Amino acid sequence: MGGVMKPMGNCAESELKFDNAACDLQLSGIGFEELPESCIAHVLCFLSPRDIAISACTNRTFRGASLSDVVWQAKLPRDYTEVLAKAKDGARAFDTKKQIFDYLCSNVPLRGHEVEFLTQTNVEMQNRLNFDFYWLSRSRAVVYRSQGAEALDVVWGSDRRYWHWRNRRGSSYDKSAYLKQVCWLHVKGSMECSLPVGRYTLSWRFALEQSVWGFALPIELAMSVNDHETVHKLVFLKNGQSSSEAEDPSGDEYVEEVDTAWKKLYVGDFSVEEGEKDSGLGRVKLQYSLVETRGGNWKSGLWLDGVVIMPK
């Protein structure tokens, strides 16, 4: 391709936006792979990031098109500038939209606002820095959010007799909450954020130690969306089953192999409706809690990493 450009009418060449390659337009049966980079970029906009990466191997033009800002701008969530503004190191300069996309696919910590909690032990306000995390799924370019355990309100959490805060292999954050022993298990948290319109699920990320005990009674899980309670259920921690019975029939005395891997405890679904017209985004306020205070028995061996919000 190439060739001398023939001017159209009386116009300045710089006014027109098209590739030089396009002007020698031999347009019969051009074939997809000979299209100019700008056209291919428009087509790649509609593919998933994975398919874009595969297409980039076709030839040099495809590779150039796959790196263009047009393609990755379409993949970024609409509020990406606000997310970058809130991100802890999002203020740095990015050369291309692809770099922004790659950055958002990593676990981006968002600079938090101070949240006040009332603790069980005393009625003073505790200021805690809220640590929310944000990331895009690389394959589908959808938004995930999570909140670390350090941002949760854990009753008796600051008492080292009951809870420890340390890192466990596989945890997403610096510190997860480890339940040494407690009879009043009450953990709650809240998050207010903006998400692209759609359906999402909320789950707790937890793990059990081999030495776990005291969880014969089911845990109460609750979730409120925009101040309306939408979920309130009882779930056995060991097998995640909902319970309508008072006790886990398998009981606590039997020695059984405990799966100590990190797992997700599904709470419920929620929808995000569009806020501003045509923005494709909506704000949602979530409150969630994990409670076991009815039985009064001592429990031990639970790790809590935080909550995760995933698109459905």
Partner 1 sequence: MGELQFQSQYRARVKEHKPIILKTRDHDLLEVDEDVAYECLTIQAMSKQLGPKNDPPVRVFMVPLSTKLLKSIIDYCKFQVEWREFVHDNPSESQKAKLKAWDAQYEKLDFNSICDLLLAASYMDVPAMTKMLSKLASTRMPRGAKENRKDPKGDGSSTQSS
Q: Binding to partner 1 by residue 23, rule CB under 8 A? A: yes
Q: Binding to partner 1 by residue 55, rule CB under 8 A? A: yes
Q: How far is the CB of 67 from partner 1 (least distance, A)?
A: 12
Q: Binding to partner 1 by residue 99, rule CB under 8 A? A: no
Q: Binding to partner 1 by residue 20, rule CB under 8 A? A: no
Handedness of CA 293, 295, 298, 299 (dihedral sign): negative
- Residues in the interface with partner 1 (CB under 8 A) total 53
Q: Binding to partner 1 by residue 4, rule CB under 8 A? A: no
Q: Binding to partner 1 by residue 266, rule CB under 8 A? A: no
Q: Binding to partner 1 by residue 144, rule CB under 8 A? A: yes
Q: How far is the CB of 245 from partner 1 (least distance, A)?
A: 30
- Measure the CA–CA gap between 307 and 152, rounded to whole angstroms: 9
Q: How far is the CB of 240 from partner 1 (least distance, A)?
A: 15
Q: Three-state SS across the chain?
A: CCCCCCCCCCCCHHHCCCCHHHHCCCCCCCCHHHCCHHHHHHHHCCCCHHHHHHHCCCCHHHHHHHCCHHHHHHHCCCCHHHHHHHECCCCCCCCCHHHHHHHHHCCEEECCCEEEEECCCCCCEEEEECCEEEEECCCCCCEEEEEEHHHCEECCCCCCCCEEEECCCCCCCCCEEEECCECCEEEEEEEEEEEECEEEEEEEEEEEEEEEECCCCCEEEEEEECCEEEEEEEECCCCCCECCCCCCCCCCCCCCCCCCCCEEEEEEEEEECCCCCCCCEEEEEEEEEEEECCCCCCEEEEEEEEEEEEEC
Q: Binding to partner 1 by residue 300, rule CB under 8 A? A: no
Segment contacting partner 1 by CB under 8 A, of 12-20, 113-121, 154-162, 268-276:
12-20
- Measure the CA–CA gap between 30 and 1, rounded to whole angstroms: 11
Segment contacting partner 1 by CB under 8 A, of 23-31, 117-125, 194-202, 276-284:
23-31
Question: Are 133 and 110 within 8 A, CB to CB?
Answer: yes
Q: Binding to partner 1 by residue 56, rule CB under 8 A? A: yes
Q: Binding to partner 1 by residue 75, rule CB under 8 A? A: no
Q: How far is the CB of 6 from partner 1 (least distance, A)?
A: 6
Which CB sits closer to partner 1, 65 or 223?
Answer: 65
Q: Binding to partner 1 by residue 308, rule CB under 8 A? A: yes
Residue span 161-200 as binding mask against partner 1, x where in contact by CB under 8 A, dash where not: ----------------------------------------
The set of residues, in sequence order, having a beta carbon less than 8 Å from that of 239 and lying 6+ positions away, is none
Q: How far is the CB of 137 from partner 1 (least distance, A)?
A: 5
- Measure the CA–CA gap between 84 and 111, rounded to whole angstroms: 10
Segment contacting partner 1 by CB under 8 A, of 11-19, 179-187, 238-246, 274-282:
11-19
**Interacting residue with partner 1 among 1, 45, 197, 258 (CB under 8 A):** 45
Which CB sits closer to partner 1, 44 or 151?
Answer: 44
Q: How far is the CB of 197 from partner 1 (least distance, A)?
A: 20
Place of tokens 């999002």: 90
Q: Which residues bind partner 1 (CB under 8 A)?
A: 6, 8-12, 15-18, 22-23, 25, 27-33, 35-36, 38-39, 42-47, 49-58, 62, 105, 107, 135, 137-140, 144, 205, 262, 264, 308
